[in-house]
Amino acid sequence: MNLIIDVGNSFVKLAVFENGILKCKESIALNLVLEGVNSLKKEYPSIRKVIISSVGKLNEAAIKAISDSFDVMVLNSSITLPFKNLYTTPETLGVDRIALVCASVEQFSNNNVLIIDAGTCITYDFITTKNEYLGGAISPGLGMRYKSLNNLTANLPLLKSEIPESIIGNSTNGAIHSGVVHGILKEIDGIIEVYNRKYSDLTVILTGGDANFLSKQLKSSIFANSNFLLEGLNYILQFNSSE
């Protein structure tokens, strides 16, 4: 059994895989990581290997404590990967993006794949039929756009995401929802359209915390998978264990 620890910007995801099958997952606060790991250790005593992906901050003391109980891999740019990385600054490529590309290699090999991760930021990552990772794009996510309107203006309120009733917002709240949500939808649909024109047989994956909210409103044909990053991390662990 494998334990996946995905430390994001807002919270930590823990997941247990057995033979490539997701057995359980949970989200916890960063300060509860050790408590959560110990709980899963008791529930799944067959866990042997752990991979830690830390976009946020998991301190060395916590990593050492986990390493005392398991065979731990900490994901970084020097890990052996199942694709050719053509990113010109591979040392700056986020570990979350690496994991997403690995998931696409496992599940959609020999395809042109665009992975869209709608989380704190919206990331776009593209890998070709030749198994070459070319890069992508990063833009502000849904929550970040709402927060920036509130933080950087004097009078605009902080709102929670909501599907706009109309493209024409007839109130300040309605205008914010229209601008933020339709702006993201047009961005995503527009980028997919550009990739579709350039690359044949494009497969598009949408994942991340806002994937379900956005997928119902997009015009483009996509595969929505909220566990894609976790599956990619598990694949990295399996890929390196088999070497």
- Residue 36 annotated as lining a ligand binding site: no
Active site residues per annotation: 96
- Residue 11 annotated as lining a ligand binding site: yes
Chain centroid offset of residue 141 CA:
12
- Residue 228 annotated as lining a ligand binding site: no
- Residue 97 annotated as lining a ligand binding site: yes
Q: Over the Cα atoms of the chain, what is R_g?
A: 19
- Residue 232 annotated as lining a ligand binding site: no
- Residue 84 annotated as lining a ligand binding site: no
Ranges assigned E (strand) in the chain: 2-7, 12-18, 21-28, 49-54, 71-74, 84-85, 112-118, 121-127, 132-140, 202-207, 223-224
Integer Cα distance of 206 and 141 in angstroms: 13
- Residue 235 annotated as lining a ligand binding site: no
Each as own residue / partner, the long-range contacts of residues 147-156 (CB below 8 Å, 24 or more positions apart, any chain) are 149/176, 149/180
- Residue 10 annotated as lining a ligand binding site: yes
Strand order of the sheet with strand 112-118?
84-85, 132-140, 121-127, 112-118, 202-207, 223-224
Q: Are 229 and 99 in contact (CB under 8 A)?
A: yes
Residue 16: strand pairing partners: 3, 24
- Residue 9 annotated as lining a ligand binding site: yes
- Residue 6 annotated as lining a ligand binding site: yes
- Residue 129 annotated as lining a ligand binding site: no
How many CA atoms within 13 Å lie on the side-chain side of 28?
A: 17
Integer Cα distance of 206 and 231 in angstroms: 14
3-state helix, strand, coil in the chain (%, to 5): 40, 25, 35
- Residue 117 annotated as lining a ligand binding site: yes
- Residue 219 annotated as lining a ligand binding site: no
Q: Are 124 and 136 in contact (CB under 8 A)?
A: yes
- Residue 204 annotated as lining a ligand binding site: no
Binding residues: 6-13, 87, 94-97, 117, 120, 172
Binding residues for ATP: 6-13, 120
Binding residues for K(+): 117
